[in-house]
Structures are given as C-alpha cells and as structure tokens.
Amino acid sequence: MNARNSSDSAPVPFGTKIRNWWNGLSRFQQWGVLIPLVVLVYLLPLLNFFPLTTEPGTDYEIALFNAARMALLAIGLNVVVGQAGLLDLGYVGFFAIGAYVAAVLTSPDSVLYGDYPWLAVVPIAMAVTMVSGVILGTPTLRLRGDYLAIVTLGFGEIVRLLADNIPQLRGNQGFQGVGGPPGTYSDGSPIFVQTDGTPWYWLTVTAIILVLILVGNLERSRVGRAWVAIREDEDAAEIMGVATFRFKIWAFVIGAAIGGLSGVLYAGQAAFVNNQRFDVITSVLFLAAVVLGGSGNKVGVILGALVISYIPDRFQVISEYRYLIFGLALIVLMIFRPQGLLGARQRLLAYGRQGYRKLLGRDEPVATESPMKDSGKGVNA
C-alpha cells in the first residue's frame, strides 16, 4: 500500500502533463489548438530576425525548407523504424530514387526528357519508390535486427553506386535544370525558383500536413495496430494471426513513397541532382532525426529533424564550432532524454490508454527503450 501511495505521489514530468492535457481535449478542441500553431509554422519565413534567423551564414528561407524536407523524411522513416520496428539504414536510397526520377523526367540533360508536368512527375516518382520498396522488402523482410540493418545499408549503397556507374545517370556530372512546380506571379516570373525558399517551404509544410493526416489515420487503423504488435513482439503477433510479412511490406512501401516525395521536392528546389548527396552519412542523419525525436512519435521525429537540420544551419556563421555545438546538443539529449524528445507510447489499441487509466487508476507508461531493439533472432525461420 505504501509503495502504491509513493508511486501516486511521485511528481509527474512536464511532458506527461502536456500529453495528458492534450489527450483530455476533444477532437474539436485539439483542432482549435492546432490551427493557430499551423498558422505560426506557415509564418516562420516572415519571422527572419534574431534568434531565429540563420543569416548571414545560411539563407533563412532555404534553411527552413531543408528543415521541413528533413521532417518529411523523418515521418516516412518513422513508419518503418518507429511504427513497424524495422531498422532501416538505407532509407537514403528511396530519397535518391525519388530525386533521380524527377531529374530523369524533367531535366534537359536526360535522354528521357519530355515536357512532363511536375504534378504528374510526383506520383510517378512515388510509384517508382513504392515498387523499389517491394523489391527490397520481399526478399529481405524475413530478416530481423542487425541483419536487416546490414541489408538495407547495402541497398542504399547499391542505389548510389548505380548512379555512379550507369552512364545515363551521369554520375558526378549530374542533371541540371530539374523542373519544379508550376505557377507564376502577376509579373510573369516563376514562383518556385532556386533562390527563394519560401514557396518551397510552404509547399513542403503542406505535404507534411497531408502525410501526417494519412499516417495518423493508418496508426489508428488495423494496419497501425498490426505494426505496433510486430514492433513489440513479432513472434507473438504472428501466433495471434497477424500477417507480419504483409504488414512489414506495407510499412516499407509507405515509407518509401514518402521518401520519394521528399526526393522530388529536393530535386526541384536544387534544380540539380548528382550522386554526391546520397551517401551513408546522409542516411544515418535521417535515422538520427527519428531516434532523437522519439522513435514511433510523429511530432517527436519532426522535432528531431529540426534539431538535425536547423542547428548546423543556425551556427553556420561560426562554422568551425558548429559541429561541436551540434554534437554537444546530441550528447545532452541522449543523457537526459534517452527515449528521444518525445518518447513513443507503447499501446496496441487505439483507445488503450483510456482503458488502461480506468482499469489501473493511473496513466499508461512511456517507453524508455527504443522499439528498434534487437530480438536476437537474425532470421525468421
């Protein structure tokens, strides 16, 4: 009884208070809080002043676009790593495929160049990356833990090496003049240009909102519950009748599509694609954004992406120290928040937390371990 009273009187962490307050709001009240926040996010390019600005070291609007693009990538990787618990070290491969599809179809340097509208290129690129996810996932998703990580790492390297060695992909020379979204101002000048990051930022934020709605609905569906069951214990999930292989393929395909979308946005803004931006380090940074933010938590991985992308740009003006500051920030986060900025909640049912609270009289615990833990079983024999 004393232990029960001691547990009840323990101070509640600030993050848990915020989470409980948010969960206590109705859906209408949550939208009432979210709408002003979304408006503020859209207005960020106009708030170009200290301490937010990254200038003179880095263009502020471009830095915001890069952070938003990283957030979109982190959301896609979170579907694979955070939701389904599949350690993917080659996610940069899907990002590269999306960028190269956009370049091959819209750059005058490509042999397949045509007058393809950008709005048609986007679904084509996402479809190609989804097929790539199926091709990668079908023979490899029976592997687990470190073995799966090694295979996906090899996939990312294969994509980069193909870009190096296939003459039509132009290696280091790359593709110039990659097309972007349509639209002009009243004076006839194009809206989406390489030097103005604001329209690109607004477009990427809009894509993030749409993807969050899609992924949020999936989490609350049978698919999301199957992902969580696989993440927590794949053997138990399979015994209970969950088609683990099929749902893991779905996670790979959806994550690949989001990565391909981010690649198309990157290629359009840079208007240039070559083989230099798709290495292993870039892939590790994608994974770091998910781990830092809180694997399995959509809002957390967005915050993690902001830390990974914004801090180096913010301290570009003192470039000799920026990676030191970046590294110290990562160390502090790992010491005080080992589960990430916003840890994932381990629940198998969409309304499990309400039932948990009513049954036990206290809130559902927050995960303190990464869902990427190794099961110790290399192959699902």
Q: What is the DSSP secondary structure assignment for residue 51, as one 8-state letter?
A: T
Distance of CA 263 to the CA centre of its chain: 12
pLDDT of 368 over the 70 cut = no
Within the chain, where are the H helices?
2-9, 14-24, 27-43, 60-78, 92-106, 118-140, 145-165, 197-219, 222-232, 234-239, 244-270, 280-293, 298-314, 319-336, 352-360
Q: Which residues lie closer than 8 Å to 363 by C-beta, 6 or more apart?
A: 16, 20, 353, 356, 357
Nearest-angstrom CA–CA distance, 343 and 292: 9
For the chain, domain boundaries: 57-183+191-279
> What pLDDT is stored for residue 13 in this prediction?
62
Q: What integer is the mean pLDDT of 14-43?
A: 81
Instruction: Return the structure tokens found at 38.
Output: 């979304």
Residues 85-129 have pLDDT tens digits of 888 889 999 999 999 999 999 999 998 888 789 999 999 999 999
Q: Match 């956009």 to its residue by tokens.
A: 102
Predicted TM-score (pTM) above 0.75? yes
The mean of the pLDDT values for the chain is: 83
Q: What is the pLDDT of residues 232-241, one digit of tens each?
A: 888 899 898 8
Of residues 371 and 304, the one with the higher pLDDT is 304
Q: Which of 50-54, 121-125, 331-335 has the highest mean pLDDT?
A: 121-125
Least confident of 134-143, 298-307, 364-373: 364-373
What mean pLDDT comes out for the span 155-163?
91
Across-strand partners of 143?
379
Predicted pLDDT of residue 208: 96
Buried b / exposed e over 324-362, threshold 16 CB at 10 Å, is eebeeebeebeeebebbbbbbbbbeeeeebeebeeeeee
CA distance 156 to 78: 17
Which of 8-12, 193-197, 312-316, 368-372 tops mean pLDDT? 193-197
